[in-house]
A and B are shown apart, each in its own frame.
Chain A
Amino acid sequence: GAGVSQSPRYKVAKRGQDVALRCDPISGHVSLFWYQQALGQGPEFLTYFQNEAQLDKSGLPSDRFFAERPEGSVSTLKIQRTQQEDSAVYLCASSLYDGGGFSYEQYFGPGTRLTVT
């Protein structure tokens, strides 16, 4: 079946531009996560949705970062006034986890590589 998809796969933005990154989770997956992976580093948590509710946004690095999942399926990560330090791969993951305490596997998308020039 279809996995997690992300678009665009590559994005080049000039410093100061706004960008929007899209994530299509696996159908039926309740939870959706965004991670940021800098070059040569492990992914770092940004934010977490359960259905349309954003339950944790503690990893968003600044108020220039905003995420939404209005209908509980597709999610968009928006970065306003991009800076060079925002250059990274942005990974989306989804899982069946519904808050019931059982740990379900997270399935990762291919990522969007953002380069800010």
Chain B
Amino acid sequence: ELKVEQNPLFLSMQEGKNYTIYCNYSTTSDRLYWYRQDPGKSLESLFVLLSNGAVKQEGRLMASLDTKARLSTLHITAAVHDLSATYFCAVWNFGNEKLTFGTGTRLTIIP
């Protein structure tokens, strides 16, 4: 059974600082997604990573995928308040097509 773990679960960081969220998964997959969720809202797609070594960047966020290590990272550069949200990684299951989500990282940016 595929398991997806994120850490940290909670993260408070000051504006302007850099930090990384980690996503580990337990079985082979080369498809990984990052989503953002604001309180009371649905999931907003941030990145789709489709191969080993994939790196994607959008603004202050950068995501990478290492399929050999079964690890993805979401790096935040020079955080700003509007990045405060919960971030989920999700791994694609070949054969049954479903996404298995991590537990989420609740990010709070402090002025």
**Contact A45:B100 (CB < 8 A) given known A105-B33, A105-B45, A111-B42:** yes
Interface residues of B in 40-79 (CB under 8 A from A): 41-43, 45, 48, 50
Contacts of A62 in B (CB 8 A): none
Contacts of B98 in A (CB 8 A): 33, 45, 48, 56, 59
B96:A58 contact, CB within 8 angstroms: yes
Give the B-binding residues of A (Cβ under 8 A).
31, 33, 35, 40-45, 48, 55-56, 58-59, 91, 97, 99, 101, 103, 105-111
Bound Cα distance from A105 to B45, whole angstroms: 8
Bound Cα distance from A110 to B48, whole angstroms: 20
A103:B50 contact, CB within 8 angstroms: yes
B45:A42 contact, CB within 8 angstroms: no
Contacts of A107 in B (CB 8 A): 45
Q: Which residue on B lies nearest to A95, using beta carbons? A: B97
In the A-B complex, list the 8 residue pairs whose CB atoms are closest, starting with the nearest.
A42-B101, A45-B98, A103-B31, A108-B43, A110-B42, A108-B42, A43-B101, A56-B96
Contacts of B45 in A (CB 8 A): 105-107
B88:A42 contact, CB within 8 angstroms: yes
Bound Cα distance from A33 to B101, whole angstroms: 14
**Contact A103:B42 (CB < 8 A) given known A31-B97, A42-B102:** no
Interface residues of B in 1-29 (CB under 8 A from A): 4
B99 beta carbon closer than 8 Å to chain A: yes
**Contact A45:B99 (CB < 8 A) given known A103-B31, A105-B33, A105-B48:** yes
Contacts of B88 in A (CB 8 A): 42-43
Q: List 5 A-B contacts (CB under 8 A).
A: A43-B43, A55-B97, A103-B48, A103-B50, A109-B42
